[in-house]
Structure 1
Amino acid sequence: MGNIDNFTPVERSFLNDTLRSNKVNVPYIAVDNFPNLGMLTAFRFLEWVSENPKGVISLPTGKTPEYFIYWTRHILENWDKENIIRLREKHHLLLEGKPSLADLHFVQIDEFYPIKSSQANSFYHYVNKYYIEELGLKRENALLINCDEILLADGKTFEEIFPDNKVNLELRYREAQNPLEKLQKESIFLIDNWCSEYEQKIRTLGGIGFFLGGIGPDGHIAFNIKGSDPYSTTRLTSTNFETQAVAAGDLGGIEISRERLVITIGLETITYNKNAVAIIFAAGEAKAPMIKDALELPPSNLYPASVLSLLPNGRFYLTQGAASMLNDFVDHYYRSGNWSQEKTDKALMSLTQKLNKYAEHLTLDDLKEDQYTQLIPDLNENTVQSVIDSIERKIKKGTELLSNEVFYHTGPHHDDISLGLLPYIHYQSRNEINTSYYSVLTSGFTAVTNKFLVKILNDTLSFVEKGEIEMLNYPDFFEIGYKNKKDKDVYHYLINIASGNADERSRAVSHRMVRNIVELWGMKTQSDVEEKIREIIATINSSYDGQNPEPKIQTLKGMIREYEEELVWAHFGVRTKNVHHLRLGFYTGAIFTEKPNRERDVIPILQQLKAINPTVISLAFDPEGSGPDTHYKVLQAIAEAVREWGKEKNLSELKIWGYRNVWYQFNAADVTHIFPVSLNAMSTMDESFTNSYLSQVEASFPSYRYNGKFSHLSIQTWVDQLKAVQLVLGKPYFYDNESPRLRATHGLLFFKEMNVEEFLQSARELEKSTEGIHH
């Protein structure tokens, strides 16, 4: 946690009394969830503002600040209400009067270049909306990065100088080849000059007094990517793949973010004022490796956030998950509470990895010398065998064939269920006395790019004009017919995967698009349909990349994802009536999606639970929001529905399966089921993914961990999980096994079974902390 002597009263009120190590470069505080992270940051910010009412602040954009912005506003607006007074007392924010934000100076951290300031996905727009307007700062006291106002050669606009939004920084170092390049070269130096002036303005103000920032997948802060010079200042620069993958969501796809440069303050801009309070906040276990590097390895340009070690008031504010790989945390895990088989499994597995030694070759001395295996109670010659037995039991459990089960598989987004559980689902669905239902809880339209939608609409228009969508001629098609035979669109598509006929596959997609357009816009004739398609294409072509479309086009994009989901399960003989699309209302494509509410988001799930009456519910288990914030909001909604259902039905037999996939993984010690995945199962998953998730195959929104399809990343995860388990069981356990299924193992899939009480316990922690939050 670092030296806590200079922690402020607010910070001390959030310290739990467990972790007290000084072995980190920057002091940190860990809280138990994402909303509390926002609350801690808001209280610390207001504490600082009360002492520095005219200070200079720099606050981040993106999704992480959601609860920081919420709590800052909520505390200020309800300053004298009883519940906020109690909260202020608890967290030692005992001030004479309410802090005022009116005289603060604001510095924008970064911006894409080029981007129009009017676009809702520009950081300029975000800062104006969420900080200047919502928190009541004065615009005249703000230093902002408005790309439209940065002067370029000959007084031209960036659209004229950089017609395709591409800025080639090589022009800094080489001769221009033509008149346009000459203007571009001159403009790049003008932008460089603007950046130097921006830096100077910040220094004239005395530097940044309060800096708050997130941490990127490569450890970046602001857009200071891995390798950035700790003495860097404000500049125009390019980014790396990890950063582009994360920015793809803002810009409408990796193909756009890959080309876009950024203007960012530098690492020295952040540390220039030696008295600055500089805070990095991070939520979720996916951030744990970057946090560990920044806090525990010697500071270097490989870990940009380690620059905070130069500031006495540098801090990291983390959720438990983000802190989970820090030595303090690992130590606390083993030394506190009761010892369990899970701890024995984890300690021994981690020792096999540390020593790169198979479990059967570990000696008792190895176990006694390791700081954690030495803590195992009754350590003896059989300890290793107890771990081998424990892992074998999980494999046995994973391969048991289930009967008479009703599975209710849920996913926050389309493709989550498939990426998380497909080989196991396929294995259990071969037993025809089991029934499976699939329910995707949000519409997922943000994953369909404008380019993809326009291509499908153009194809559809062409088929309609050529008279190749015959159902348009059926007498009752526009009244009722469009709703029928959706299974036929699915079958039509899949049969043409088998025969390799791409044109017919495209026609099957167009069939579904025509049904969707008739349903959404209430069309009555073929010419209405043609006109509407042309109108939608025109609307999309006139919008900027990453623009949130109007609600009906959102729904249309979501319907493409719904069709894709039906295609996946139809590979395994599942009918469309068993694939449900809930389109929960909190998911709107806004920067901050709303908190789920009972009527709109919980009741639809509850109704499905009552209608289906499942014996097993599977769900994406992400209680800290390691992945997209949609994950933990969906988790909340499911938990609430299960809680309600439990009021009228005994759920003691109900099983909950938590799965993970490309956003974060389980440790084998944490799970109850380990399922062997064969090469055959891997190729089945990859093919069904590639054939069905048409909008995802080119991965416009890839994981920062892998530049390619999510299905390949899932397979990579299974392979890595097998490697970890092989160190415990030995390779011969698999290739010499009596069972052909185990001999064919080339990857392992993990999931965790919980009873209702265990599941609600994990979800309740988050629920408690968000009480009273309604955006």
Structure 2
Amino acid sequence: MNVTRNLSYVAPGKYETTRFEKIHSVIFKNSVEASKIVAQEIATLIQSKQAENQKCILGLATGSSPIRVYAELVRLHKEEGLSFSNVITFNLDEYYPMTKENNQSYHYFMHEHLFNHIDIKPENINIPDGTVAIEDLNQYCVDYELKIKNAGGLDFQLLGIGRTGHVGFNEPGSHVNSGTRLITLDHITKVDASSDFNGISNVPKRAITMGVSTILRSKRIVLLAWGQNKADIIKRTIQGDISAEIPATFLQNHDNTTFVLDQSAASELTRLKTPWLVEECVWTEELKSKAIVWLCKKTKQSILKLTDRDYNNNGMSDLLAQEGSAYDMNINMFNKLQHTITGWPGGKPNTDDSNRPERAEPARKNVILFSPHPDDDVISMGGTFSKLIKQGHNVHVVYQTSGNIAVTDDEALKFAEVCNDFIGEETSKIDFKEVIHFLNNKKENQIDSVEVRKLKGLIRRRESYAATRYIGLKDENIHFLDLPFYETGQIKKNPLGPDDITIVMDIIEKIKPHQVFAAGDLADPHGTHEVCLNAIFAAMSVLKGKLFLSDCWLWLYRGAWHEWDIDEIDMAVPLSPDEVLLKRHAILFHQSQKDRVMFQGSDSREFWVRAEDRNKNTAKIYDDLGLAEYEAIEAFKRFDY
């Protein structure tokens, strides 16, 4: 097979062959940069085929991973004249059964994100048909394969990867020789899709998928993976053995495949997680901290018990030679971690703050706690939130979105019926009879009416008031931004816009904070945290020249999905058993998010359990490393904006 990798993928520092990796992979800072380069490779291929008067045959994927690639292709078409007139496309898969009009169908997805915006001929678009009668499906799949073959085979196949290791919908157990067929979806795949369908019970059980052998016959394959949730399966795919249990590993046998990753998706690869096992390192302070924490976990010893032999036997002899002795390194690392621990997250007044994570002055700080959804504040930092109030700081919690789509229809119907019974429609600002009628007659994939969305938002708003009052915050210090990007009534949100940024800027200017806490957890299933964080970054960037912001520190917390690695933590706030209980009760005020969580991702535990387990685990790691033993710890990373 002729290998024609785009050489821009192998720029210095982006890719190094290691003895651990069995698939060519490149790592980018973020998915935006990576998607543009992938789109450019596709565009170059299309243009080269046009120059030779040939058709360009593309295999396309759906899901969140390729969205930015498609957006860049649309831009190239509209702004730079890229034509798709010679392009024939074949999509990987489609849910079964599934109508084309359903907004969860891949037919709808592809037209929404790509086909409606370019000059591709409709007859050149091929997407598996989720409406084919079951008795006709085998022949339909054979014909789909034949159509790809008659077109000349796939010149380029774009892939994503599921947490099961599926490519297309080739779930664990798929054979290397499998062709296009009907397949039953793995439970994990259905869990991951459940938020798109408002619950796992609504996710189709089956799908039509292009087979492994069909994919492997492609002349060029590029697989995209973004985010921490993909890190484990990426490592197993790139570094593990070939196995039908992880169908993506079959790509190890394809000689023109590239995995395009962001730093989070690549974070478990050996060359990033433990680079000292791959090659000689430049030992920065950050890398030293990472390595020493890893060594403690590997040897099951506390920091101060590590010996020269431990360093030498675990690929860190060059670090030992550079530093001189294990003793000095251990003391320095122990002190570094010890200095992250504070019971005064707003700074301790009238004390020497040279070895503390926060400034002593001003003694009473203006604090903004940004919460993307109306519960991230207590889930992520409920204990720290309480301490800041008790220690006399002027704390404001700012909810960036209404969170309305995370309220189930049943929950909304219950509230609507209670309101209707209690106050009657004539004195109500919402016509609850109309809301009840809408919810009782809501069709599949129908967008909530404005009044239903308002009700769901109010449910979450009142839960937030209850939780923050319990924590001890005054009502006048609670702010709801209802950022416009979120208010679509759908899972799919609008891009971050100028109005969103202006709203965030206004609240920052109003409060003039000395501290800002924001969600740095970018692993939430639908990206709301990332958009909300970008809104804060953009707002603070515009305001950077303001005098008040020159004395403002930005702290990032993580929420229900992941915790900071110990070596990344800049401030560790211990919680007592009573504070852990207070935090739990505050989270439980968010009753609409209990029991039937719509957006819980891959973790079936309730949010309060996840948060508690995570905080206790962080405390245990500090204890295992030889520091003080605490009931729980909330962790933060300082960000220089």
TM-score, reference length from structure 2: 0.88
Aligned residue type for 2:39: A
Alignment of 1:260 with 2:214, yes or no, is no
Q: Match for residue 634 of structure 2?
A: 749
Instruction: Tell me how far 1:114 sits from its aligned partner.
Output: 2.6
Tell me the alpha carbon deviations over residues 307-366 of structure 1, each in whole angstroms, 9 at most, x when there is no partner. Answer: 222221111111122223222334669989964443222111101222333334422111
Q: Match for residue 223 of structure 2?
A: 280
Aligned residue type for 2:457: G
Instruction: Tell me how far 1:295 sits from its aligned partner.
Output: 0.8
Q: Match for residue 699 of structure 1?
A: 597
Q: Match for residue 712 of structure 1?
A: 609
Q: Match for residue 57 of structure 1?
A: 58
Instruction: Tell me how far 1:220 sits from its aligned partner.
Output: 2.5
Q: What SS does the corresponding residue of 2:144 show, helix, strand or coil?
A: helix
Gaps of 5+ in 1: 80-97, 152-186, 473-477, 479-513, 519-528, 735-741, 761-775
Tell me the alpha carbon deviations over residues 171-200 of structure 1, each in whole angstroms, 9 at most, x when there is no partner. Answer: xxxxxxxxxxxxxxxx4x554554444344
Aligned residue type for 1:725: Y
Q: Match for residue 293 of structure 1?
A: 236
Q: Match for residue 30 of structure 2?
A: 33
Q: Match for residue 113 of structure 2?
A: 130
Tell me the alpha carbon deviations over residues 561-594 of structure 1, each in whole angstroms, 9 at most, x when there is no partner. Answer: 2222222212123233322111111224466634
Q: What SS does the corresponding residue of 1:419 show, helix, strand or coil?
A: helix
State whether residues 299 and 310 of structure 2, in contact with CA within 8 Å, keep that contact through their aligned partners in structure 1.
no
Aligned residue type for 2:612: I
Alignment of 1:413 with 2:373, yes or no, is yes
Alignment of 1:249 with 2:249, yes or no, is no
Q: Match for residue 306 of structure 2?
A: 362
Q: Match for residue 507 of structure 1?
A: none
Aligned ranges for residues 616-655 of structure 1 at < 5 Å? 616-622=515-521, 628-655=526-553
Alignment of 1:727 with 2:624, yes or no, is yes
Aligned residue type for 1:129: E
Alignment of 1:539 with 2:536, yes or no, is no
Alignment of 1:378 with 2:323, yes or no, is yes
Instruction: Tell me how far 1:678 sits from its aligned partner.
Output: 4.1
Q: What SS does the corresponding residue of 1:250 show, helix, strand or coil?
A: coil
Instruction: Tell me how far 1:438 sits from its aligned partner.
Output: 0.8
Q: Which has the higher helix share?
A: 1
- Which of the numbers 404, 416, 422 marks the counterpart of 1:445? 404
Q: What SS does the corresponding residue of 2:196 show, helix, strand or coil?
A: helix
2 CA distance for matches of 1:58 and 1:588? 33
Residues 99 and 434 from structure 1, CA distance in 2 versus in 1: closer, same or farther, beyond 3 angstroms? Answer: closer
Tell me the alpha carbon deviations over residues 120-144 of structure 1, each in whole angstroms, 9 at most, x when there is no partner. Answer: 2221211233232223322222222
Aligned residue type for 1:290: I
Residues 689 and 320 from structure 1, CA distance in 2 versus in 1: closer, same or farther, beyond 3 angstroms? Answer: same
Aligned ranges for residues 395-544 of structure 1 at < 5 Å? 395-396=341-342, 401=348, 403-431=363-391, 433-464=392-423, 514=428, 518=429, 532-544=431-443
Alignment of 1:270 with 2:244, yes or no, is no
Aligned ranges for residues 73-472 of structure 1 at < 5 Å? 73-79=74-80, 100-148=83-131, 150-151=132-133, 187=134, 190-192=136-138, 194-257=140-203, 260-271=205-216, 273=217, 275-330=218-273, 339-372=283-316, 374-375=318-319, 377-380=322-325, 381-396=327-342, 401=348, 403-431=363-391, 433-464=392-423
State whether residues 274 and 291 of structure 2, in contact with CA within 8 Å, keep that contact through their aligned partners in structure 1.
no
1 CA distance for matches of 2:72 and 2:477? 41
2 CA distance for matches of 1:626 and 1:30? 21
State whether residues 74 and 114 of structure 2, in contact with CA within 8 Å, keep that contact through their aligned partners in structure 1.
no
Residues 279 and 220 from structure 1, CA distance in 2 versus in 1: closer, same or farther, beyond 3 angstroms? Answer: same
State whether residues 28 and 262 of structure 2, in contact with CA within 8 Å, keep that contact through their aligned partners in structure 1.
yes
1 CA distance for matches of 2:256 and 2:205? 34
Q: How many residues are treated as equivalent by the alignment? A: 617
Alignment of 1:603 with 2:548, yes or no, is no
Aligned residue type for 1:749: E
Residues 458 and 379 from structure 1, CA distance in 2 versus in 1: closer, same or farther, beyond 3 angstroms? Answer: farther
Residues 384 and 604 from structure 1, CA distance in 2 versus in 1: closer, same or farther, beyond 3 angstroms? Answer: same
State whether residues 411 and 619 of structure 1, in contact with CA within 8 Å, keep that contact through their aligned partners in structure 2.
yes
Residues 396 and 557 from structure 1, CA distance in 2 versus in 1: closer, same or farther, beyond 3 angstroms? Answer: closer
Aligned residue type for 1:576: D
Instruction: Tell me how far 1:77 sits from its aligned partner.
Output: 2.1
State whether residues 627 and 663 of structure 1, in contact with CA within 8 Å, keep that contact through their aligned partners in structure 2.
no
Residues 446 and 570 from structure 1, CA distance in 2 versus in 1: closer, same or farther, beyond 3 angstroms? Answer: same
Q: Percent identity?
A: 21
Instruction: Tell me how far 1:238 sits from its aligned partner.
Output: 3.0
2 CA distance for matches of 1:559 and 1:70? 34
State whether residues 250 and 546 of structure 1, in contact with CA within 8 Å, keep that contact through their aligned partners in structure 2.
no
Aligned residue type for 1:101: F
Higher mean displacement: 673-682 or 40-49: 673-682
State whether residues 621 and 635 of structure 1, in contact with CA within 8 Å, keep that contact through their aligned partners in structure 2.
yes
TM-score, reference length from structure 1: 0.74
Higher mean displacement: 302-311 or 398-407: 398-407
2 CA distance for matches of 1:536 and 1:693? 20
Q: Match for residue 21 of structure 1?
A: 17
Q: Match for residue 555 of structure 2?
A: 657
State whether residues 254 and 701 of structure 1, in contact with CA within 8 Å, keep that contact through their aligned partners in structure 2.
no
Query: Which structure would you say has the larger RCO, counting Cα contacts within 8 Å and 6 or more residues apart?
Result: 1
Instruction: Tell me how far 1:206 sits from its aligned partner.
Output: 4.4
State whether residues 420 and 432 of structure 2, in contact with CA within 8 Å, keep that contact through their aligned partners in structure 1.
yes
Residues 213 and 537 from structure 1, CA distance in 2 versus in 1: closer, same or farther, beyond 3 angstroms? Answer: farther
Instruction: Tell me how far 1:720 sits from its aligned partner.
Output: 3.0
Higher mean displacement: 281-290 or 345-354: 281-290
State whether residues 239 and 261 of structure 1, in contact with CA within 8 Å, keep that contact through their aligned partners in structure 2.
yes
Q: What SS does the corresponding residue of 2:340 show, helix, strand or coil?
A: helix
2 CA distance for matches of 1:225 and 1:715? 33
Tell me the alpha carbon deviations over residues 586-608 of structure 1, each in whole angstroms, 9 at most, x when there is no partner. Answer: 2244666343233x112212221
1 CA distance for matches of 2:237 and 2:304? 35
Tell me the alpha carbon deviations over residues 654-707 of structure 1, each in whole angstroms, 9 at most, x when there is no partner. Answer: 121100122332111111111223444333333322332424431122221x11
Residues 190 and 709 from structure 1, CA distance in 2 versus in 1: closer, same or farther, beyond 3 angstroms? Answer: farther
Aligned residue type for 1:596: L
Alignment of 1:573 with 2:472, yes or no, is yes
Tell me the alpha carbon deviations over residues 481-501 of structure 1, each in whole angstroms, 9 at most, x when there is no partner. Answer: xxxxxxxxxxxxxxxxxxxxx
State whether residues 275 and 281 of structure 2, in contact with CA within 8 Å, keep that contact through their aligned partners in structure 1.
no
Residues 625 and 195 from structure 1, CA distance in 2 versus in 1: closer, same or farther, beyond 3 angstroms? Answer: same
Larger Rg: 1
Q: What SS does the corresponding residue of 1:617 show, helix, strand or coil?
A: strand
Aligned residue type for 1:584: L
Residues 105 and 19 from structure 1, CA distance in 2 versus in 1: closer, same or farther, beyond 3 angstroms? Answer: closer
2 CA distance for matches of 1:583 and 1:141? 42
1 CA distance for matches of 2:369 and 2:276? 32
